[in-house]
Chain A
Amino acid sequence: MSLYQWLLFFHVTGVFFLIGGIVIAGILNLAAIVKDRRPSEVAALYTLIRFAVPLIGAGLLLTLVIGLWLVHNVGYGYGQTWIVAAIVLWVVGSALGNIDGKYQRQTGELAQRLAAEGDAPSPELRARLLNPLAIVISYASGLTAFAILGLMIWKPGA
């Protein structure tokens, strides 16, 4: 197999890791939000979300590094519209994901503490889970990955 084929495989692997991780985190986050759950249930779901973090991290790294290498290998220009747009979205998505990750980690820690202190329903935990700004940041960070996927397929301006 040629270098291009290997690069494309690892780039697509990054896409699967990134979107797969986002889907895992999104589903488990949604499961915690849709019903008024006990803190121990929220804690259980947030413990599982942790498995998505290395997947998302590896996906971010592979998509960017191998993606830039592919641009060079194929002979595209680094200044082409779709490549610049994809890099901007990658940076924005990563920044939003970083903010979201810290917020989710604190929510998980609160759920664990409340579970250990009697597992009674908590308005504070519910408010954190339903915080509109946090939800917007969380889902916006995920949607950037889908937008980047669209750019990679349509390549506007290529």
Chain B
Amino acid sequence: MVLALIRPDSWNLPLFLHVLGATLTFGATATVALLGFAGQRGDPDRAVWLRGLAFWVGLVVLVPAFIVMRGTALWILDKEFPGGHNEPGWVGVGFFVTEPGALLVIVMMVLAWFTRSPKSRSAVAVPWLASILLVALAVAWFAMSAKPGG
């Protein structure tokens, strides 16, 4: 079993950056969800301020972290399965989560931009979209860590 855990040193940096990006994505998405839910109640000025913070957290932390996670996934995939040959199923799960996930992040950011207005009706959607992304990330880290079937 120890032999199975040995990997070439050249994989370490992309793997580190991939896990770092994924954990930062998880934390930033959870922060957007928290700020988004908190920004739906209480004083209207306070709510708009919290929703504005959710937008900035998304833009400054979530989007770069997501790009790092996805970019380094391709980097390590290219080392582990050159040319895309013999990719096991758990790799496909990563694509299945991150490709719609990228679209989800874009939609979330556009809606979060509009929720900075006091009259915005899209405020309710942002934290729920963030929650969906959190569940999708959990599915991906299950597939990436346990590697079921492969």
B-chain residues with CB within 8 Å of residue A23 when the two chains form the complex? 23-24, 26-28, 30-31, 61
| B37, closest chain A residue (CB) | A48
Decide if A149 touches B147 in the complex (CB within 8 Å).
no
Place the interface of chain B in its size category. Answer: 20 to 34
B-chain residues with CB within 8 Å of residue A47 when the two chains form the complex? 38
Given contacts A5-B147, A27-B57, contact A154 B12 (CB under 8 A): yes
Decide if A21 touches B27 in the complex (CB within 8 Å).
yes
* Most-contacted residue by chain B among A11, A27, A146, A150 (CB, 10 A): A27
Q: How long is the Cα–Cα vector from A111 to B132 in the complex, in angstroms?
A: 33
Given contacts A74-B1, A149-B20, contact A8 B27 (CB under 8 A): no
Over the window 86-117 of chain A, the binary record of Cβ atoms lying under 8 Å from chain B Cβ atoms (1 yes, 0 no) is 00000000000000000000000000000000
Question: Which residues of chain B from 1 to 59 have any CB-CB distance to chain A below 8 Å in the complex?
Answer: 1-2, 5, 12, 15-16, 19-20, 22-24, 26-28, 30-31, 34-35, 38, 46, 49-50, 53, 57
| Residue B145 lies at the interface, judged by CB distance under 8 Å to chain A | yes
| Residue A9 lies at the interface, judged by CB distance under 8 Å to chain B | yes
Q: A19's contact among B23, B57, B144, by CB below 8 Å, is which?
A: B23
Decide if A16 touches B12 in the complex (CB within 8 Å).
no
Decide if B53 touches A31 in the complex (CB within 8 Å).
yes
Decide if B148 touches A20 in the complex (CB within 8 Å).
no
Decide if A12 touches B145 in the complex (CB within 8 Å).
yes
Q: B residues bordering A, Cβ < 8 Å?
A: 1-2, 5, 12, 15-16, 19-20, 22-24, 26-28, 30-31, 34-35, 38, 46, 49-50, 53, 57, 61, 137-138, 141-142, 144-148
- Can you give 14 contacting A-B residue pairs, CB < 8 Å? A12-B145, A13-B141, A16-B23, A16-B138, A19-B23, A23-B26, A23-B28, A31-B53, A31-B57, A44-B50, A47-B38, A73-B1, A74-B1, A153-B15
